[in-house]
Structure 1
């Protein structure tokens, strides 16, 4: 069965689910998932996991994200972007670059954010955007997010272009609305490009047309999703025991999470170590013992 990761350049106008459907047909396999939803009007990096690599999806979702976004002043919409219906408006006041920079600094660091109604979060089994389309608004619990960086790239009299580095779960639309409100105006997102998800970058992403022309040429190994984890090279006996679910002693190892590799370089999956005992967390490949080890 095909297994690996595709770093897809999602185009505007497609949902993340549309991309997965396209790749299911192209690769003729059903076991596919994506690492972090992108709005239909947004473009950029969408890591897509195929086959056994889907077991590592959670590690892609955990990775830091980098966006380029445009904030348009003067209007607020029900969706948080300029595809929605205008629900509020304000005059566009003149703001200096110093005032903008001071405002952006207020949003750096850990904070709470209330997810927008137009999101894929579920409430009592229904996605919020499905409720929103019915005109229903429900109470949402604030979530912890972290904004690592907010860089002003360009300003006009009516808009800002920003680069944003943030944690998982951050809704850029909501962040931009909050920045506009802090500046005393309504605001909405008019452009969004995702430049990075964890170890997947825009410069290396491939279009659906490129992938369709050579479906397997751009397939990355599953290990690409966890390059930031420490590598642990196991002996054959350790590899056999751990991939069979047996906690195994590895002398001198520090507590933490590791990429498990064989002496010959095969990637087996993810393990964790505590008090010099290593146990399997996500095994993608069982180690095959030779006759002498059995």
Structure 2
């Protein structure tokens, strides 16, 4: 955690502020929270983190916002967990498992060897559930509407891809890579290489260039830095829309998965009844 106090920051002139992003918050959620808490006029983030990722999110304020592109271009380091034997459309926990395959026959040596082709300069296809733009629309908007779209592959550089724990079906990893690398896609591609499928279940961004998550503030730290309101100053309360999802850690996404699975099972049951075939037989 950073040892700086509010007195050490000059947000109007410009600062680089390191945050440890909480689980299920979007990067924009964090920017808005910090902006409102510390009353910063000009602020932006240097590299998006998915809602289900945690770790280093760099915010730039004032004149330092001019450095956002430079920071974004720097090398990234991630740690996390893949789960073998199951795939999801989003390549992570945001969507329900759509396919399961055997994995117990795989040896540690086979799993480790499968990572080697992904080290170096490779072609990678981003997930459909991503912020990539397709004909002016974000890919995740298309995906969440149940539509299909083709995403072009791109060149990325992976300097390090090492496995730090293998306890099937889970494997832990450390990846050092270039800007634009999708760790969810790496999970998908490794699962394809192993023939059993895989998806990302945990992701932490530990470093961007020389900036490290160990030096980052938590949102609780930021809240503690909040300057006192002037006497008599009030601020209207913004009510959260009743339709907004309750982001409560993985429980929120677990609920999404349960709903999706129930809908899929119901659809299969109705299809089986319509065909005059028992559901169990139809699933074989």
TM-score tier, shorter chain, comes to 0.7 to 0.9
Task: Tell me, in whole angstroms, the C-alpha distance in 2 between the residues paired with 1:103 and 1:206.
Answer: 37
- Contiguous gaps of at least 5 residues in structure 2: 1-11, 228-284
Q: How many residues align?
A: 216
Q: Which residue of 1 aligns with 2:231?
A: none
Secondary structure of the corresponding residue to residue 86 of structure 1: coil
Query: Aligned residue for 1:143?
Result: 154
State the match for 2:195 in structure 1.
184
Distance, in Å, in 1 between the alignment partners of 2:111 and 2:103 is 14
Structure 1 residues 14-23 or 198-207, which shifts more? Answer: 198-207
Cα deviation, residue 183, structure 1? 1.0
- The answer to whether the 8 Å contact 1:94/1:157 transfers is no
SS in 2 for 1:139: coil
**TM-score, with normalisation over the residues of structure 2?**
0.73
Larger relative strand fraction: 1
Counterpart among 130, 148, 166 of residue 177 in structure 2: 166
Specify which structure has the bigger relative contact order, considering alpha-carbon pairs within 8 angstroms and separated by 6 or more residues: 2
SS, match of residue 23 in structure 2:
coil
**Matches of 1:149 and 1:33 in 2, distance apart?**
29
What's the CA shift for 1:75?
Answer: 1.2
Structure 2 matches for 1:1-294, cutoff 5 A?
1-214=12-225
How far is 1:93 from its partner? 3.1
TM-score, length-scaled by structure 1 = 0.71
Give how far 1:87 is off.
2.2
For the 8 Å contact 1:117–1:129, the answer to whether it is kept is yes
- Report the Cα distance in structure 2 between the residues aligned to 1:211 and 1:48, rounded to whole angstroms: 12
Q: Deviations over 1:194-220 (max 9, x none)?
A: 10011210111110111221259xxxx
Secondary structure of the residue aligned to 1:94 is coil
Q: RMSD over aligned Cα, in angstroms?
A: 1.4
Report the alpha carbon displacement of residue 74 of structure 1 after superposing the two structures with TM.
1.6
The answer (yes or no) to whether the contact 1:149–1:166 under 8 Å persists in 2 is yes
Q: Deviations over 1:103-151 (max 9, x none)?
A: 1111100011111111111222211101111011211111110110011
Q: In 1, are the aligned partners of 2:46 and 2:58 still within 8 Å (CA)?
A: yes
For residues 215 and 144 of structure 1, what CA distance do their matches in structure 2 show?
42
